[in-house]
Structure 1
Amino acid sequence: MLKEETLQRISNSVVSTSGDAVETAVRKALEENIGPAEIIEKGLAAGVHETGILFEEGTIFLPHLVLAVDAMEAGLRILETETQEQDRDRRPGTIVNGTVEGDVHDIGKIIVSGMLRASGFTVHDMGRSVPLQDFIDKAKETNADLISLSALTTVSLNRQQELIGMLREQGLRDRFKVMVGGAPASQEWADRIGADCYAKNAAEAVAKARELLLLK
């Protein structure tokens, strides 16, 4: 089967909300030596993106979108297991990732965590609407290299700036790199608040994390 067909099957399985079909298609992709990052970007994430468009058009409703995300996560779990087995002794870095307090958006953050894991990083996904101190405490607990902050609203965007301020107040700013992302974020915003980098999507998050941690 052509690679494009295999990836399209993964995407279609996500849209159809079939976790079993997603798992089967992801295993098939791995058998065909398709890399985890490509499976996520062109298969799983593409399916969620398509589902999001259908939701915005009113073709499907929220329960369908939630089930599609669940199906995507079934595929991510397989990839995470595969990556752990392949890279048991080689981990390029540890990242704490989550959506900031006051923001309940989750889909983009889930994709970023999956892409980072598929690229070999150890990722502690904190979930959504995470209190800022929890990010810091988890980073200290796990001796993380990078804190990744997602914000999908203009109101919650300011939380990214607040966290950087808290790191400075606690004498930890030099210990942890900070990456910001989300629809209202930008490189200009990252520069303004003193973040180490901005990533506009999951693929760029991987590239920026590697660059920050000297893994180019």
Structure 2
Amino acid sequence: MQQISYDLIVGNHLEVDRLTIQALEEGFAANTILDDGLIAGMAIVGIKFRDNVIFVPEVLVAARAMKAGMAHVEPILSESGIQPVGTVVMGTVKGDLHDIGKNLCIMMLRGAGFIVHDLGVDTAPDEFIDAVVEHEAEVLGMSALLTTTMPNMGRTIDAFEENGLRDIVKIMVGGAPLTQEFADDFGADGYGKDAMDCVELAKRLVGLQEAEEPVPVVS
């Protein structure tokens, strides 16, 4: 498991692929490989990215390596009938084409047992609403990297309010220019500063664990 984590961190997708197959053949449970190998490695990637030790290219190759391992683990977990812990809709807001942080969050959420529907970039409020309703999502996650597109988070939340749908979903926001204060102003249910924070926040929002501090809610 340590070797899988290491190869994921350095972005060696061929070794992650090979070692994941080997671990399954040797009798390791898919959950063990996921938790102790893939997610453990990606958690370190998330920390290094947050602390500016590594940058976007390194994250991309690590993400490719995790995808290589997940290709073998995900089908087994699906066939085992394990119930997902929740359903999340994720997207970058209208006018913003950045998705590295969002994609890292999605990978971590899926690894933690969530079903995630990725709407991609440049997502309009109506698209968020339609996806939440269609997939009966408990959580909506919005990302923005540009200060000029941040207000579209507030507009999306307002659109849920105007359509009488604000109470059906918990909304979390994130992205480099975001702060807890902005999240509160927008009326979001929570703010995550990085991918690991995103997973912990999503778990709290679906009631899987208690928050150490109350999740801010603005009515």
How has the CA–CA distance of structure 1 residues 42 and 188 changed in structure 2, closer, same or farther, with 3 Å as cutoff? same
How has the CA–CA distance of structure 1 residues 28 and 107 changed in structure 2, closer, same or farther, with 3 Å as cutoff? farther
Look up the match of 1:212.
205
Is structure 2 residue 1 aligned with structure 1 residue 7?
no
Look up the match of 2:165.
172
Residue 79 of structure 1: how far off its partner (Å): 4.3
Counterparts of 1:131-150 in structure 2 under 5 Å? 131-150=124-143
CA distance in 2, matches of 1:55, 1:213: 31
- What SS does structure 1 have at the residue aligned with 2:148? helix
Look up the match of 1:123.
116
Residue 200 of structure 1: how far off its partner (Å): 1.3
Aligned residue among 86, 89, 93 for 1:96 = 89
Over aligned residues, Cα RMSD in angstroms?
2.9
> What is the total number of aligned residue pairs between the two structures?
202
Q: Which runs of 5+ in 2 are unaligned?
A: 210-219
What TM-score does the superposition give when structure 1 sets the normalisation length?
A: 0.78
Aligned residue among 181, 189, 195 for 2:182 = 189
- What SS does structure 2 have at the residue aligned with 1:20? helix
1:21 maps to amino acid: E
| Mapped contact 1:37–1:115 kept (Cα < 8 A) | no
CA distance in 1, matches of 2:38, 2:32: 10
CA distance in 2, matches of 1:172, 1:6: 43
CA distance in 1, matches of 2:73, 2:133: 27
User: Which one has a larger percent helix, Structure 1 or Structure 2?
Assistant: 1
Look up the match of 1:20.
14
Residue 47 of structure 1: how far off its partner (Å): 5.0
| Mapped contact 1:91–1:121 kept (Cα < 8 A) | yes
What TM-score does the superposition give when structure 2 sets the normalisation length?
A: 0.77
Residue 147 of structure 1: how far off its partner (Å): 0.7
* Same amino acid, percent of matched pairs: 36
CA distance in 2, matches of 1:91, 1:205: 17
Q: Which runs of 5+ in 1 are unaligned?
A: 57-61
